[in-house]
Amino acid sequence: MSKQDRVPELAAPMVAWLRERLTIASARGFVVGLSGGIDSAVVARLCQLASPGQVVAVMLPCHSAAADEADARLVVDHFAIENVTVCLDAAYDALLEALEAATRALAGVARPDRSDAEARIPRVNVKPRLRMTSLYFIANSLNYLVAGTGNRSELTIGYFTKYGDGGVDLLPIGHLLKSEVRALAHALGVPKPIVDRTPSAGLWAGQTDEQEMGFSYAELEAYLNDGPETVSPALALRIERLMRESAHKRAGAPIPEET
């Protein structure tokens, strides 16, 4: 095994788990959507260590910032990961135009009162759902599994799009808090600009995770690690509300009990 292929001790359990999942699913490798952020970089590297030569990183710009693709390119070049780019701009524009026209045609349906931020949610959620469709096309074509990039911090409060970036086969870092992902990134040798980058889902210009959540990852981790008394009462209530309202995202579709 070359130095490049050695598995850091911190990553060894996750790499072994990924190999086991491939065996269970009779799959040949992994597809990872690469955003340019730390989470997807860590997952791509873990998958590469688990299944060398059988990982495809997919870059899916959708009216995205050029810096996102540049950061994603830095990761695939650094680790020499097979990769492909699929531009979703035209598909997004065409689908959104059709969807908005269809929704406007619902003359007999009352519209909810929403803020500008709430009103854009249906539009921006189309992006991760198009990306999910694209990743599964490639994965199905290769008999690969789609490796998700959500971490425990985000999953706990539902900070992901249902059937978008939440639509995956497995979540290799779903048990890790954001600070633990960062520590793992250092151990894996993820390029420093990626580790230091401000977390962002890239759904609109200037968007950041912490701004959208309304609190920092550090505050969320304090709540999760040490309890609600470590943050302000107002913040504890907000986190608990997010956890409660997003429970449906973490569960399968409900089915009535037999009567």
Q: Taking a C-beta distance cutoff of 8 angstroms, is the pair 31, 131 a contact? A: no
Cβ neighbours of 250 (radius 10 Å): 14
| Residue 252 within any structural domain of the chain | no
What is the DSSP-derived secondary structure letter of residue 30?
E
* Residue 183 β-bridge partners: none
| Residue 221 within any structural domain of the chain | no
What is the DSSP-derived secondary structure letter of residue 43?
H
- How far apart are the C-alpha atoms of 85 and 33, rounded to whole Å? 10
249 Cβ contact partners less than 8 Å away, ≥ 6 residues apart? 158, 160, 162, 166
- How far apart are the C-alpha atoms of 243 and 230, rounded to whole Å? 17
- How far apart are the C-alpha atoms of 239 and 219, rounded to whole Å? 10
| Residue 14 within any structural domain of the chain | yes
CATH code where residue 22 lies: 3.40.50.620
Torsion of CA 213, 150, 91, 104, to 10 degrees: -40
| Residue 152 within any structural domain of the chain | yes
213 Cβ contact partners less than 8 Å away, ≥ 6 residues apart? 157, 159, 220, 242
| Residue 140 within any structural domain of the chain | yes
List the chain pLDDT tens, one digit each, 259 residues.
Answer: 444 567 889 999 999 999 999 999 999 999 999 999 999 999 999 999 999 999 999 999 999 989 999 999 999 999 999 999 999 999 999 999 999 999 989 988 888 888 877 788 899 999 999 999 999 999 999 999 999 999 999 999 999 999 999 999 999 999 999 999 999 999 999 999 999 887 666 665 666 778 878 889 999 999 999 999 999 999 999 999 999 999 999 998 989 988 7
| Residue 240 within any structural domain of the chain | no
Instruction: Give me the domain span that covers residue 204.
Output: 3-211
What is the DSSP-derived secondary structure letter of residue 251?
S
Q: What is the number of structural domains in the chain?
A: 1
